[in-house]
Amino acid sequence: MAFMNEQQRLKFIEALHKAYPTPKCELDWSNEWELMMAIILSAQSTDKNVNKTTPALFKVADTPEKALKLGVEGITPLVKTVNYFNNKTKAIVNLAKVIVSQYHGKIPTDFNTLITLPGIGRKTASVFLNVAYHAPFIGVDTHVFRLAHRLKICAGKTPQEVQEKLEKIVPDKYKPTFALAMVLLGRYICTARKPKCLECPLHEVCLSDEKEAK
């Protein structure tokens, strides 16, 4: 079956918003620096695992200044349960160094500036701005990338390509909630191995080839 046409996509996006009108990021955080560290740690890891790790980290490194003072040696033991913790620790410390030295300890809120900083790519910047400020950015993680193809919303070989397409086809008023809603849908309903199609609030607007009969 072909990918959704414009009318089908709009019906899907409207249904998604109706099902998840106020979706929330499931990472724990209490300030912007904690959120940024949590997002960096969450790459190729689960939010649940990150949330088990971050309390100890946030207790001693809840600002860029404190993280920089701790350094790689101080932070590494606190995040060892997270995948690729060595690289992520270095990214956090390098980012803290730039934030402290060039931005007076405040994370920039401009997307184009964010993606020039150590450890921050398009996905991280998009998720950060979307979660922290409800900005209309669509961060494409594994769930969003997978569902974009499975549900035939759009196709792309890379997350960036999918992100660029989604930001063109998702109406502006739905952009602040779209990615967060897709993550929740992918995490709890449209799961990778056994999608719960009969429980899905989007069953009527779904075009997936894996869709179970009602």
Domain boundaries, the chain: 6-23+138-205, 32-133
Residues marked active site are found at 123, 141
* Span 10-66, pLDDT tens digits: 999 999 999 999 999 999 999 999 999 999 999 989 999 999 999 999 999 999 999
* Span 98-156, pLDDT tens digits: 999 999 999 999 999 999 999 999 999 999 999 999 999 999 999 999 999 999 999 99
- Architecture of domain 6-23+138-205 in CATH? Orthogonal Bundle (1.10)
Report the CATH number of the 32-133 domain. 1.10.340.30
What's the pTM?
0.92
* Span 157-197, pLDDT tens digits: 999 999 999 999 999 999 999 999 999 999 999 999 999 99
117's CB contacts (< 8 A; 6+ apart) are: 95, 98, 99, 108
